[in-house]
Amino acid sequence: MRWAAGICAVVLVPSLAFATLGIFRGKLVDPPPQQHQSGWIFVQSPRGMLRRVEISKARITYGEDVPSARRARSPAADLVPGTEVLVTAEQDDAGEWRATEIQILHLRTGRAAGRPASAT
């Protein structure tokens, strides 16, 4: 039985060591021309770096600073340009970011309380 555990450690540990985990913060922006795809968002960091992030399997939550009265029924509805987010994602072999968690930190300005947001 110990040899099986040893084989698993040899096979699994190196693959975990090469997985790239990223945590980044920024505002959602409109996609560049010709790059709009359902299930993807574009996050621009405060320093201007733009990341494309796949969100289909992400757990989306609100931060404690987002008032309950301004939250949509589905947090995904608030993933619109101007919303500030904190993203936890893994980078795949092709260099694409795949979100595991998205926390909405601040809603875009100008959205009336209780009014549903449009989806991207």
Phi–psi pair at 80, nearest 5 degrees? -125, 160
Look up tokens 């975990």; give the residue. 16
CATH architecture, domain 20-106: Beta Barrel (2.40)
CB 52, CB 95: distance < 8 Å: no
Q: Report domain extents, the chain.
A: 20-106
Facing residues of 88 across strands? 23, 101
Q: What is the pTM of this model?
A: 0.76
23-79, pLDDT tens digit by residue? 999 999 999 888 888 899 999 999 999 999 999 999 999 999 999 999 999 999 999
